[in-house]
Amino acid sequence: MVNFRQLFAGLNPRQLFTYYVVISTPIFCTLGLVFSYKLVGMTYLEVLITHISEAVGESKYDLRQAAIIENFMEGLSMGSVVLFAFVADVHTGRYVMVVYGAGVCVAGLFLSFIASRTGTLNFGCFIPALVLLSLGRGALSVTLPAFLDDQLREIDVDEERRRRRTKFWWFLLSFAAAIFSIFGPRRLTFKYLAVELALVTGASFLMFVSGTMFYNFVDAIENPFRDLGMVIVRALQNINADYSSDTQILPPVPCLRWLDKAATVQGSETGSVEQVSRVKRLFRMLPLWSCFLFLSLVLATGDTFFIIEATSLVKNYDLTPIIILNNLAAVTEFVVSIFSRFVIRKLRERRQFNKQKMELVRIGLGMSCSVSCCLVAWAISMARMSPNMNVYWLTLQYILLGVTAGLCTDGFSSLFRIQGLESLLSFGPPFGQLARALGELASVPFIMIFSGARFKWIQKDLEHSHLDKYYLFMAGLSIVNVFMYCLVAWWYRDDAFLAGDGEMGLVDELIHGVASGFGELQDTIPVGDGEMGLVDGLFHGVTSGLDEMEDPIPMEDEEMNIGGEPMEGVAPGSEEWPYAFPIGDGEMGLTEGLIELQNIVSGFM
């Protein structure tokens, strides 16, 4: 049992403030844009379907049309994230992409005002405005937090501290935007809300541009998809080459056997076997992503029809309860994500559980919560016409929606970081957004099918629709998805897929072997296409490192624990994990590593 009093006994508020809070000119100029970006999302884009119903009027409002527009724009925004992240990192740089995203958002907001200034919504002008807003939001969703992180690089050499400070500022500005969205523009009509948001975003944009000369610009990187493309091209070039049936690169997936031929090329680069292994692990995650696609349908339902139900239960299009429920789901997602990550880390430290298996369990729990979310929504939808019905009756389904997103989204991102190519590690969140985008876009044909003459579940207005049947269908689809996920997780249970929690260097392997106990010396360390015992593995590591005695061994984060995994969520120098030791600037020579190992072993004796 966790002793929280002991855990927080050493916390000093002044030290915490110094650790997290840092102010500089680049950060000051960037924070305003972060605030306006979150404010536009909370008060405009995330409740877009409510604004459409207000601007069109009840007589001309069509629920089906509004739902399709909402899902399509969300899909466009999320689906463009991968493209914008790639262009920003490889070609233009993050600053240019942030300028583009902010400028497009301002233009989209002013165009929205023009579309509604006559009192009736002009869709010929409104749809282009939504496209601009969706593209601008997609450009900012990944590049803006990354750019904020870049401004801390000159201040924080410590990568862990920089990452924590970035998250702190992002959360603080998100919280401020959430509070302002509730007590600020809630009474404004659609037309004047667009103008106010355009002015706020425009002012933040000008302040951001004014700090250009003070910003820290990070150099562009090589194409992160290079290794992936190189392995596929090599394999196709050698598709007819002879390959020993007894030799197979891990993981052993029959349908991906053809990728092994990429390592047989004459004069191939060093490390091609490792590249092939990583690419195979990446492809082997596709069944998991297919399960996430079906889950995204439930999340898309929450983004659309939950808001429609909430709108029907408020008077005069009062946005306050709707924004509160949306913020509640977002806060729940954040808290569940952090808490589940904390639990997994503690279980790993105390019970030595395999992290990847724990991530699979976390995703499975999120899948199960999606079933509960749909069933609760179905039950509340059945009672919606009751005279005693209140908008806050929807609280439980919003909480379950946040729990589902918090468990599954973070779990998928964590698995991607462990199994994916090193060059693509930063693309974990964009790929997650891409899966969400496919779910949003896939919900469009579902809406069209169930609004047809055969079903008539979704009609022109909510009173004549049968959302209870649609929620029940989503619950059934979620149950099928849970069974599919269980089969996929059972397929991933073998050691070839879950052998370790990422790439471990020599020192990691040594510490892992000592911590596992001398009674488990028969455990094996995978090397190439075969396996070697622990003692052989140590001998192999020492002999292979003689020629590189003075070369540093790269470490992934700036500290390492006994489990052979970078510490997540533990500040440098923290006493929460007594066996963690700092690695300076991220490097340690072989000799220094063995000395540290000797000290740790002496501590165990």
Note the pLDDT tens digit of each residue in 96-125: 999 999 999 999 999 999 988 877 788 889
Q: What is the CATH number of the domain that holds 89?
A: 1.20.1250.20
Pick the range with the lowest mean pLDDT from 186-190, 221-225, 519-523, 565-569.
519-523
Instruction: Please check whether residues 463 and 478 belong to one and the same domain.
Output: yes
pLDDT for 233 equals 81
What is the CA 344 to chain-centroid distance, rounded? Answer: 17
For residues 591 and 370, the model is more confident at 370
pLDDT for 258 equals 77
Q: Which domain holds residue 173?
A: 18-218
Q: Would you tell me how many other CB atoms lie within 10 Å of the CB of residue 38?
A: 22
Give residue 116's identity as a one-letter amino acid code. S
Return the bridge partners of 554, or none: 587
pLDDT for 218 equals 86
Q: Which two tokens stand for residue 477?
A: 């689809």
Q: Is the pLDDT of residue 525 over 60?
A: no
Q: Where are the alpha helices (DSSP H) in 89-157?
A: 94-116, 123-150
| Straight-line distance from the first to the last Cα atom of the chain, in angstroms, rounded to the nearest whole number | 26
What percent of the chain is modeled with pLDDT above 90? 29
Of 234, 276, 308, 288, nearest to 463 (Cα)? 308
Domain count within the chain? 4
By the 8 A CB rule, do 550 and 589 touch? Answer: yes
Confidence of residue 423 (pLDDT cuts 50, 70, 90): low
* Segment 42-81, tens digit of pLDDT: 988 888 888 887 777 667 788 888 899 989 999 999 999 9
* Segment 375-405, tens digit of pLDDT: 999 999 988 777 778 889 999 999 999 999 9
Confidence of residue 421 (pLDDT cuts 50, 70, 90): low
Among candidate residues 503, 526, 545, the one where a domain is terminated: 503
* Segment 279-338, tens digit of pLDDT: 887 787 788 888 888 899 999 999 899 998 998 888 877 788 888 999 999 999 999 988
Instruction: Please check whether residues 122 and 152 belong to one and the same domain.
Output: yes
Q: Is the peptide bond before 566 cis (omega within 30 degrees of 0)?
A: no
What is the pTM for the complete model shown? 0.74
Instruction: Please check whether residues 448 and 462 belong to one and the same domain.
Output: yes
Instruction: Please check whether residues 488 and 569 belong to one and the same domain.
Output: no
Q: Where are the alpha helices (DSSP H) in 493-589?
A: 506-515, 534-544
Instruction: Please check whether residues 178 and 270 belong to one and the same domain.
Output: no
Instruction: Please check whether residues 431 and 419 belong to one and the same domain.
Output: yes
Of 249, 288, 278, nearest to 503 (Cα)? 278
Averaged pLDDT for residues 257-265: 71
- The CA distance from 408 to 297, in Å, is 13
Instruction: Please check whether residues 422 and 464 belong to one and the same domain.
Output: yes
- The CA distance from 549 to 589, in Å, is 7
Q: Is residue 13 part of a domain?
A: no
Instruction: Please check whether residues 480 and 388 belong to one and the same domain.
Output: yes
Q: Hey, what long-range contacts does 525-532 have (CB within 8 A, 24 or more apart)?
A: 526/250, 526/499, 526/500, 528/273, 529/247, 529/248, 529/249, 529/250, 529/273
pLDDT for 103 equals 95
What percent of the chain is modeled with pLDDT above 70? 74
Q: Is residue 5 part of a domain?
A: no
- The CA distance from 112 to 108, in Å, is 6
Instruction: Please check whether residues 426 and 497 belong to one and the same domain.
Output: yes
* Mean residue pLDDT across the chain: 76
Q: Is residue 12 part of a domain?
A: no
pLDDT for 3 equals 53
Instruction: Please check whether residues 426 and 547 belong to one and the same domain.
Output: no
Confidence of residue 599 (pLDDT cuts 50, 70, 90): low
By the 8 A CB rule, do 308 and 505 touch? Answer: no
- Rounded to the nearest 5 percent, the helix, strand and coil shares of the chain are 70, 5, 25
Instruction: Please check whether residues 486 and 468 belong to one and the same domain.
Output: yes
- The CA distance from 137 to 488, in Å, is 33
Q: Is residue 168 part of a domain?
A: yes
Instruction: Please check whether residues 491 and 418 belong to one and the same domain.
Output: yes
Q: Where are the alpha helices (DSSP H) in 313-427?
A: 319-351, 355-382, 395-419
